[in-house]
Amino acid sequence: MLYFLGQLGEQFAAFNVFRYITFRTAGAVITALFFVFLFGPGMIALLRLKQGRGQPIREDGPQGHLLTKKGTPTMGGLMILSGAVISTLLWSNLSNGYVWVVLFVTIGFGAIGFYDDYLKVKRMSHKGFGSKQRLLLEALIGGIAAFAISQLAAGAYGTSLLFPFVKDLALNLGYFYILFGGFVVVAAGNSVNLTDGLDGLAIVPVMVAAACFGLIAYLVGSQNYADYLLLNAVPGTAELTVVCGALIGAGLGFLWFNAPPAQIFMGDTGSLALGGALGTIAVATKHELVLAIIGGLFVLEAVSVIVQVASFRLTGKRVFRMAPIHHHFEHLGWTESQVVIRFWIISFVLALIGLSSLKLR
């Protein structure tokens, strides 16, 4: 919304700064951060009052969680989403189609996660929304987003898959791109959801990934930068830098309340929405495969669950003491803080590896 003040720059030079993506990104970070700081305590108090006993804790999980996390309210993703969405609407160029596609997925996945959290709290069970119905809705939202992106990027690799480390290597998937893009969005949402199991574990890697894709969007969205750095340009995606800034600001604000011991959990409301947003930005910038590197921690968590389930069904034996894999390390004797901080380090390292794939000069 404030972007349009930049249109007055010809008459009022002071408004020129609103044209700059870097200025508006900084504004989005600060706005989302202070929004969560300002309204976070009230939202936590309200959710605690409404939920009573808080989020149900898995009885088959680490026994320490039953004592330390019992009674903690969930749906903290509402704090993140409200801050990020309001900040995005305030600072981004609302005539940009990519912004609306990302908001569509973020709010859609957030609504699915909210309903799932609601059922868990209502039933006092860690089982919420039916997995088949939930995945079907996610696939529908992801498919619509992928189709919209293919139309927005019709002149710039609209239905093509680009490969990291190699410039101009593109595979045109045609209509299959809609399925592929939808899969990336759904997989990203559920991978972040699986990672969200310890205080602060998911939100920092999400912010790291958002920062990386903010940079990617800024570079590939500018023809000049893309040409100079030997990147594949995707015009229009630079505006997603502002969206990433809003996610980072809201994430920082949420971390203030989610740091151990957490005052609130983000729940599926936040984890699904944040993962879906990252997946959509990756599809929009044509860096889907890079997301698998930068978000490698999320991939690891998801794969650990897939391997655990497959192994138990096929052989009756478990590969890990417990899945997702962060619980496996808890069972090995790592403290919660050790798991969280070490996984943060892994996330930072993977982000550097992912950024190195951008083929910069």
**pLDDT tens, 169-211?**
778 888 899 999 999 999 999 999 999 988 889 999 999 999 9
17 CB contacts (<8 Å, ≥6 apart)?
Answer: 6, 23
124 CB contacts (<8 Å, ≥6 apart)?
Answer: 53, 56
Q: Which pTM does this prediction carry?
A: 0.91
Burial of 346 (0-12, 13-18, 19+ CB in 10 A): middle
Average pLDDT estimate for 20-40: 95
CA distances from 317 to 84, 320, 328 (A): 43, 9, 15
Going from N- to C-terminal start, the domains of the chain cover 25-38+74-355
Give the end-to-end CA distance of the chain in Å, rounded to a whole number.
35
Q: Locate tokens 């968590």: which residue?
A: 301
Cβ contact 286:160 at 8 Å? yes
CA distances from 127 to 131, 165, 236, 247, 338 (A): 9, 42, 40, 28, 28
Phi and psi, residue 251, nearest 5°: -65, -40
Q: Is 196 annotated as a binding residue?
A: no
In the predicted structure, residue 104 carries a pLDDT above the cut 90: yes
Phi and psi, residue 118, nearest 5°: -60, -45
pLDDT in tens, 52-94: 665 665 555 555 554 456 778 888 999 999 999 999 999 999 9
Q: Is 60 annotated as a binding residue?
A: no
In the predicted structure, residue 105 carries a pLDDT above the cut 90: yes
